[in-house]
Amino acid sequence: MSEASFKQKFYGFLGYLVDRGGSDLHLSVGNYPLIRVDNDLVKVEKGEVISSTNLESIAKNILGPDQQKRLQVKKQVDFSLETDGGFRFRGNFFLSRGSLGLCLRAISKEIKDLASLNLPDNLYEFVEKPQGLFLVVGPNGNGKSTTLAALIQHINENYSKHIITIEDPIEYVYKNQKSLINQRELYKDTDTFVGALESCFREDVDIILVGELRSIETVSTAITAAETGHIVLSTLHTNDSIQTIDRIIDVFPPYQQNQVRQQLANVLNGVVSQRLVNKIGGGRVPAIEVLKNTTAVSNLIRQDQTHQMQSFLETSRDDGMFVLEYYLAELVKKGTVEWEEAKKFE
Secondary structure (DSSP) of 284-309: EEEEEEEEE--HHHHHHHHTT-GGGH
Instruction: Give how far Cα 321 sits from Cα of 57, 87, 120, 236, 308, Å.
Output: 50, 36, 11, 19, 14
Q: Helix, strand, or coil here: 169?
A: coil
Name the fold adopted by 121-343. Answer: Rossmann fold (3.40.50)
| Residue-range domain boundaries for the chain | 3-107, 121-343
pLDDT score of 1: 52
pLDDT score of 245: 97
Instruction: Report CA torsion sign: 36, 40, 116, 184.
Output: negative
pLDDT score of 265: 97
Contact 297, 346 (CB under 8 A): no
CA distance 63 to 52: 16
Contact 34, 26 (CB under 8 A): yes
Write the burial class of residue 159 (CB in 10 Å: 0-12 exposed, 13-18 middle, 19+ buried). middle
Q: What is the pLDDT of residues 139-180, one digit of tens each?
A: 998 999 999 999 999 999 999 999 999 999 999 999 999 999
Q: Helix, strand, or coil here: 77?
A: strand
Instruction: Report CA torsion sign: 90, 96, 98, 99.
Output: negative
| Nearest alpha carbon to residue 105 among 58, 142, 54 | 142
Phi, psi dihedrals of residue 81, rounded to the nearest 5°? -140, 135
Phi, psi dihedrals of residue 15, rounded to the nearest 5°? -65, -40
CA distance 174 to 183: 8
CATH number of 3-107: 3.30.450.90
Instruction: Give how far Cα 206 sits from Cα of 15, 202, 286, Å.
Output: 38, 11, 28
One DSSP character per residue, 80-102 reads EEE-TTS-EEEEEEEEETTEEEE
Single-letter residue type at 241: S
Contact 202, 102 (CB under 8 A): no
pLDDT score of 8: 84
Write the burial class of residue 204 (CB in 10 Å: 0-12 exposed, 13-18 middle, 19+ buried). exposed
Q: What is the largest CA-CA distance in the chain?
A: 64
Q: Which residues of the chain have pLDDT under 70?
A: 1-4
pLDDT score of 4: 65
DSSP 253: -
Do 121-343 and 3-107 have the same topology in CATH? no
pLDDT score of 205: 98
What residues form DSSP beta bridges with 88? 82, 107
H-only helix segments in the chain:
3-19, 52-62, 65-74, 144-158, 193-200, 216-227, 241-250, 254-267, 295-302, 309-315, 324-333, 339-343
For helices 241-250 and 254-267, angle between their N-to-C axes, nearest 10 degrees: 140
